[in-house]
Amino acid sequence: MNPAKSLLKSVLILLLSLLFRICVSLDTITPDKPIKDGETLVSNQKTFALGFFSPGNSNYRYVGIWYYQITEQTVVWVANRDNPLNDSSGILSINSQGNLVLHTQNQTLPIWSTNIASISSTNYSISMAQLLDVGNLVLVQQHNQRVLWQSFDYPTNIFLPFMKVGLDRQTGLSRYLTSWESKDDPKTGKYSYKIDTIGYPQLFLYKGQTPLWRAGSWSGQVLTGVPEMKSKLYNSDVNVSFVNNEDGITIMYGITEPDVYSKIMFVLGESGTFGRYTWGDGKWVRFWFDPQESCDIYLNCGPNSYCDPYKGDEFDCTCLPGFEPKSPLDWSIRDGSSGCVRKQRVSTCKSGEGFVKLASVKVPDTSIAHVDMSLSLKQCEQECLRNCSCTAYTSADESEEGIGCLTWHGDLVDIRTFTNEGQDLYIRVDSIVLGKRQSTDSYESSAYSLPNLEDFTSRRGLDGTRRDSNFPVFDLKNIIAATNNFSVANLLGKGGFGSVYKGLLQNGMEIAVKRLSKNSRKGIEQFKNEVVLIAKLQHRNLVRILGCCVQGEEKMLIYEYLPNDSLDSYIFDGTKRSWLDWGKRIEIICGIARGILYLHQDSRLRIIHRDLKASNVLLDTTLNPKISDFGMARIFRGDQIEANTNCVVGTFGYMSPEYAMQGLFSIKSDVFSFGVLLLEIITGERNTNYCHNGPSSNLIEHIWDHWKEGKAMEVVDPSLGETYPADEVSRCIHIGLLCVQEHATDRPTMSTVVFMLSNDTPLPSPKQPAFIFKSTCNTKDQTTIEGANSINEITITKIDGR
């Protein structure tokens, strides 16, 4: 199976397996769940949304896919681009044939359809459309997960990661990009970007039927016309793969660093340019685009010449060695379109001919080229020499010093030079030219070889700002400006590690700045290392860290800003707690669980948060929970599962006994904290602040006592009223008790917790929890403690084993 298919399949299976009972997903259209204009699908990780939109100044309605989190609506795909809706009566549904169709309220004749003929009507009820996190809308048969149709097969103007452009030889489907007509009209426009399979395959940008720019053939690392693909900037975050086999001829790219800057797309613009964009600092930044200068335009210089844009005022076009202008007059008035012809002096066939090298070029149009991957470059030369119709040769694959043999048989067309990128092309010349070259004993340099500018990192200078996406460091003066010099008015909160300020960057982006106290012991290098690692974490239930700022004494972490408060300000508040009905609470519980699971095992690092608590769970505007404050998180490398520290950090009420007493922390200490948090969400009571006159003086003990007596439901937050599903709440209390069991080994892992939350399987009986925080009623302390001494402050009352 090819990588894209298997990737899609695994993404699909993952998504399907997450469709569980409690945490309902909003990314599918099923036969009984269509969407109307005004409604949207949102992919699981909230990367993409699908719905109805009107582009620019248009009043027409279209169904499209756009980035969910990007403020500037960026539509990446349009369904009915050539057949807009006049009004908002559109409905997107699965019809009785199992196709996804767009129609209006009163009309059954579809405006747009996936048009799959072969879906059995007896099985229609189980086809469904799902929006995947890669931005692909797939129509699948649920019983076998077979993909019947996918939007990635019908691209519009945007080339997304994991999308394939090219020919599928099995189905005959040709996938290519086409521009929009204008900003206001997604109608199929004049420009297209596609693979031309004639000869040796290459990519072209066409205007109508006419080639406008040739991106060129694949040289193993880059498209020959896009040497930028070799640059570090380009290479560090995307990897491109080109496949030419019995399955098809396709090009696709993946993302190697799915971090905060991973919003990458290639766009075929309505004015006929193809370029790469990255989302950063609240806007799309263009890295490069083509065609950009006259040398990029197809056939700007005619056959057997090359275009050299670095000649200043001189004419760009130059004949290849051994050739002269076909029309010297045209040439003299700077029109190179007629090209060059061979100087007729001596034969180039078995008459002592040979080759001269043209360095750093975009190799000629390969529609007349032949390839033989079995030959080395030396053998390639012999092969080309042997065959008099061969006019030039080069390596087919530039990786590993050159593999394979690419030969041209006919006019050499559309060559341009680059500064220090590009390929070497060997051109057949007669013995006279060859003799001249050899007598000067410099086969490669002098007149025909081209300048190599050392410091030209990019041949044209990138018009986007250069950014090292591995190291998001903010400038102190920008942070000072953003926070009004850390003014009190901007203060959001204070904790054991420092203060948090709200800030507004110049580009309008809101941030939260955590300014670490100056005496924080962490070394600057270590601090930066952690930021770099944490910056790579990306999950809808984690607050995004955008970067850091280190200058002098100052150490700061910059996070995304969430306007709605932390969870504690809801669940422990007399009024606001009633806004959280059970449905919302279980969503929050599931979200937190998934966020921790990601930290523990789904991210590439193993991270112990160490300070999970209600005040470290922030809520976004839709009350989706986001775990914050990785300031104390410990990153475990490799297989390490447990560690010891002399420096116990954490918060009363949430610390597991082994951590509080022995400084031993592991993923199971986070599970403990999660259990406490879960029980707090159900009861609306603080574990540390629990103050009831009765036999139990601590929330966990209180719940445990009720549980043993079969009266667990009495602990449920009264503000939930009677409207909750008792069995589900009871199950959650049960799971909470499993998480706070005294012995770490008895506690489930987060993946088990997530499983238990989403399934109805029987649960084991909980053993007695740890009652380590029998706080007295004056303990209102919810702040984080740090330091070796703090361990002495903890009162431990009852830790008898069973």
Ligand X SMILES: *[C@@H]1O[C@H](CO)[C@@H](O)[C@H](O)[C@H]1NC(C)=O
Q: Which residues bind ligand X (CB under 6 A)?
A: 3, 85-86, 89, 104-106, 111, 120, 123, 143, 239, 241, 252-254, 256, 370, 387, 389, 409, 480, 485, 563-564, 579, 621, 623
Smallest distance from ligand X to CB 381, Å: 14
Distance from C-alpha of 791 to C-alpha of 221, rounded to nearest angstrom: 57
554-560 and 545-551 as β-strands: parallel, antiparallel, unpaired?
A: antiparallel
Q: For ligand X, which is the closer residue by CB, 541 or 651?
A: 541
Both structure tokens of 26: 């909003």
Smallest distance from ligand X to CB 349, Å: 10
Both structure tokens of 523: 């070394």
Q: For ligand X, which is the closer residue by CB, 119 or 671?
A: 119
Q: For ligand X, which is the closer residue by CB, 269 or 493?
A: 493
Distance from C-alpha of 396 to C-alpha of 375, rounded to nearest angstrom: 10
Smallest distance from ligand X to CB 480, Å: 5
Rg of the chain over Cα atoms, rounded to whole angstroms, equals: 32
Q: Any idea how long the chain is? A: 802
210-216 and 238-245 as β-strands: parallel, antiparallel, unpaired?
A: unpaired
Minimal CB distance to ligand X: which residue? 254
Strands of the sheet containing 210-216, edge to edge, are 177-182, 185-196, 202-207, 210-216
Q: For ligand X, which is the closer residue by CB, 73 or 123?
A: 123
Distance from C-alpha of 720 to C-alpha of 755, rounded to nearest angstrom: 25
Which amino acid type is present at position 180? W
Asked whether 582 and 724 are in contact (CB, 8 A), the reply is yes
Q: What is the dihedral of CA 400, 404, 410, 414, to 10 degrees?
A: -30
DSSP state of 600: I
CB-CB neighbours of 773 under 10 Å: 25
Which residues belong to the active site?
Answer: 611
Distance from C-alpha of 353 to C-alpha of 335, rounded to nearest angstrom: 30
Smallest distance from ligand X to CB 494, Å: 16
158-159 and 48-53 as β-strands: parallel, antiparallel, unpaired?
A: unpaired
Smallest distance from ligand X to CB 80, Å: 8
Which amino acid type is present at position 743? H
Could you tell me which residues come within 8 angstroms of residue 400 by beta carbon, excluding any fewer than 6 positions away?
none
Could you tell me which residues come within 8 angstroms of residue 294 by beta carbon, excluding any fewer than 6 positions away?
300, 307, 309, 316
Q: For ligand X, which is the closer residue by CB, 564 or 601?
A: 564
Q: For ligand X, which is the closer residue by CB, 552 or 694?
A: 552
DSSP state of 598: I
* 401 φ/ψ sector (left φ>0, alpha ψ -120 to 50, else beta): left
DSSP letters, 65-120, are EEESS-SS--EEEESSTTS-BSSS-EEEEE-TTS-EEEEETT--S-SEE---S---
Could you tell me which residues come within 8 angstroms of residue 279 by beta carbon, excluding any fewer than 6 positions away?
67, 70, 261, 263, 264, 285
DSSP state of 157: S
Q: Would you tell me the crossing angle of helices 726-739 and 582-597 to the nearest 10 degrees? A: 30
Distance from C-alpha of 597 to C-alpha of 305, rounded to nearest angstrom: 60
Q: For ligand X, which is the closer residue by CB, 160 or 712?
A: 160
Distance from C-alpha of 168 to C-alpha of 248, rounded to nearest angstrom: 5
Annotated binding site for ATP: 514
Q: Is the C-alpha dihedral spanning 466, 472, 477, 479 positive or negative?
A: positive
For 328, the enclosing helix (H) or strand (E) is helix 328-332
Annotated binding site: 514
Q: What are phi and psi of 753, to 5 degrees?
A: -60, -45
Half-sphere exposure in the Cβ direction for 113 (13 Å, CA): 15
Q: For ligand X, which is the closer residue by CB, 237 or 629?
A: 237
In whole angstroms, how far apart are CA 194 and each of 77, 178, 292? 17, 9, 18
Q: For ligand X, which is the closer residue by CB, 199 or 269?
A: 199
